Chains A and B, each alone.
Chain A
Amino acid sequence: MVIAVNDLMQLHRPASTPPTSHPVVMEAVGLSVSYGAFRAVRDVDLAIRRREITALIGPSGCGKSTVLRCFNRMNDLVESARVEGRLTYHGIDVYGPDADAGEVRRRIGMVFQKPNPFPKSIYENVAFGARVNGRRSKAELDELVERSLRGAALWDEVKHRLRASALSLSGGQQQRLCIARAIAIEPEVLLMDEPCSALDPVATAYIEDLMHDIKERYAIVVVTHNMQQAARVSDRTAFFTTEVADHGDRRTGVLVEFGRTADVFSKPADERTERYITGRFG
């Protein structure tokens, strides 16, 4: 099957790209990440905007997930990880002295590649963030759980069995539960790391619709290896690739191109982007 780039663009929803740019929430300037002596990705400049979906695409090993995991300091968990350059949230350095990792993660939620609900009830999964981030009354929690589950388009399916184990849900439902759990902490930014890669096409369509519905309220950054998905859901696209690292044997990720999705897919400025997009589909 051959899909021309123009066909690909028809998948895109032009209405979702507004004429004016929304305000920037997060900004990376010259961001580099190393694991020990190995440099995973270098010199990334990105701006994440409110009410937009930003897609990070590129071949595997290009560092797109690594960059995503910088945004909420998940790389802190990796002993050898080192972050250089500047990453700001409303102008505040995310890695600076004024930033607490827990607070960063409370404002910047994350959804993972594989659905990873806690082996607890549906209710407790959604309430978890609120519970660790400060006590709330039962009524507040109930309200929060309902609002979050509605926000993740899961409420109608689970409202009668909130006390059932989250593991009893289907894969797609589990992923929506994880989205509900992430938005329950009321973040401003939502990071999604290949959120559909473990799901079937029907569940994927559900999640994509959901992303489209909730982007009015969040700045969403999504890593995907699925070109059509990037074209379908995102407003801006950052294309990463790898190049031979300083030492030679391992490859470092670099940001090649970052722009409006329509532009990146229809008239890429860099030939590496063009080769990747057409190579995948042509």
Chain B
Amino acid sequence: MAPAATTPVVTLRPTGAVRRRQRVEQVVKAGLLGTASVSVLTTVLIVFSLLQPTVEFFREVSVGAFFGGTDWAPNFQPASFGVWPIVGGTLVVTGIAVLVAVPCGLGVAFYLSEYARPRVRRVLKPVLELLAGIPTVVFGFFALTFVNPKLVDRFWPIGDVSTFSALGAGLVMGVMIVPIMTSLSEDAMSAVPESLRQAGVALGATRREVSTKVVFPAALSGIVAATVLAVSRAIGETMIALLAAGNRPNLSANPGEDMQTMTAYIGSTALGDIATQTIQYKTIFAVGALLFAVTFVLNIASARVVRRFRQAYE
């Protein structure tokens, strides 16, 4: 140590203690970056886990036979790998779910954002969260033991309804998605400036006209994004389809029939303990890759629309 000078030396250089803190800072920052990279790693692993077996799958089954075929029977002899029946099942169930979720979710969003008094809103929102928190297997059980026998079987006019139906699964899936649709649409609606509503009212518009002609167009991109996400959620939903839509690959337009979705195929095939190198095992990954690709495109599209809509108000 230097002997004490008469005037203390002023320095802004780091002292020993500060240098130690800076080292801690570096370590912590690296650690946190490490945790953040786990999520990136997850995506990488998803892609890798899907890719290799899928590539192997397409060595044995031609791309044309997969995407062009209308007979899905991977477990039969001779096996057939036309994916359309389970894509069709997915589309029918998703279509029904979206037909329920979009109008219903939008209606609830309009009600919460434009009509409900604050007190009603304070009660209704937690109840909707409750709906959002119910496990999908519970919805599946409800579709199987209530909606299918008590509603679809009784009221669906076309053909015979078995224990399973795409309609029952789709209806319940639609209600399951309502909270997602509602919360995203309501976010978009509440982002519409109050001054626009006032302008509408001052021009003599009623609450309905303000809702449909001012708020709706202004929130449209957010609502579109919500819809896309709802579609993606319906396509990826497994348990309801597996329990209530049935497990028979069935390319049909009659939603009263039982059908297998892509997710249900994966779920039901994986139940049995199948050997790793078999073609049946690889179909799980091929169908999973298709599922991942479709939902990935939808999610990116939805994020894009949301970003554009944010910019509109900045």
Contact = CB atoms under 8 A, between A and B. Distances in A.
**A in complex with B:** yes
Interface of A: 72, 74, 77, 79, 102-103, 105-106, 109-110, 112, 114, 116-120, 128-129, 131-133, 167, 178, 181-182, 185
B199 A105 contact: no
Nearest to A100: B204
Contact of B218 (A72, A109, A119): A119
Nearest to B209: A132
B117 to A, nearest CB: 7
Contact of B203 (A119, A120, A128): A128
B202 interface: yes
A118 B204 CA distance: 15
Given A105-B204, A116-B196, A133-B204, 15 more contacts: A79-B117, A102-B205, A105-B201, A106-B204, A110-B202, A112-B195, A114-B195, A118-B196, A119-B312, A128-B203, A128-B205, A131-B213, A132-B200, A132-B206, A182-B202
The 10 tightest CB contacts between A and B, nearest first, are A116-B195, A110-B202, A106-B204, A129-B203, A105-B204, A132-B205, A102-B204, A132-B209, A116-B199, A119-B218
Contacts of B205: 102, 128-129, 132
Contacts of A128: 200, 203, 205, 213
B198 interface: yes
A103 B198 contact: no
Nearest to A105: B204
B217 interface: yes
Q: How large is the interface on B (under 10, 10 to 19, 20 to 34, 35 or more residues)?
A: 20 to 34
A102 B203 CA distance: 8
A116 B186 CA distance: 21
A247 B19 CA distance: 60
Contacts of A185: 203-204
B125 to A, nearest CB: 18
A112 B198 contact: yes
Interface string B215-242: 0011000000000000000000000000
Given A77-B198, A103-B204, A182-B202, A118 B193 contact: no
A280 to B, nearest CB: 28
Contacts of A116: 193, 195-196, 198-199
21 contacts: A77-B197, A102-B206, A106-B204, A109-B202, A112-B199, A114-B195, A116-B193, A116-B198, A117-B199, A118-B217, A118-B218, A119-B312, A128-B205, A128-B213, A129-B203, A131-B213, A132-B200, A132-B206, A178-B199, A181-B199, A185-B203
B217 A105 contact: no
A118 B214 contact: yes
Given A79-B117, A118-B214, A132-B213, A74 B198 contact: yes
B20 to A, nearest CB: 53
A74 B201 contact: yes
Contacts, number: 69
B213 A77 contact: no
| Residue of B193, B198, B218 with most partner-chain A CB within 10 A | B198
A233 B196 CA distance: 27
Nearest to A131: B213
Nearest to B213: A132
Contacts of A109: 202-203
B34 to A, nearest CB: 43
Interface of B: 117-118, 193, 195-206, 209, 213-214, 217-218, 312
A131 B118 CA distance: 31
A100 B205 CA distance: 12
Contacts of A182: 202-203
Nearest to A112: B195
Contact of B201 (A77, A114, A167): A77
A110 B198 CA distance: 9
| Residue of B203, B206, B213, B217 with most partner-chain A CB within 10 A | B203
A237 B217 CA distance: 40
A118 B216 CA distance: 11
Contacts of B117: 79
A276 to B, nearest CB: 29
A74 B202 contact: yes
A120 B197 CA distance: 14
A159 B181 CA distance: 40
Contacts of A77: 197-198, 201
A128 B209 CA distance: 10
Contacts of A120: 217
A77 B210 CA distance: 12
A185 B218 CA distance: 22
Contacts of A112: 195, 198-199, 202
A74 B117 CA distance: 17
Contacts of B118: 79
A187 to B, nearest CB: 9
Contact of B204 (A114, A119, A132): A132
Contacts of A178: 199
| Residue of B193, B196, B204, B312 with most partner-chain A CB within 10 A | B204
A167 B195 CA distance: 14
B96 to A, nearest CB: 33
Given A119-B218, A132-B209, A181 B196 contact: no
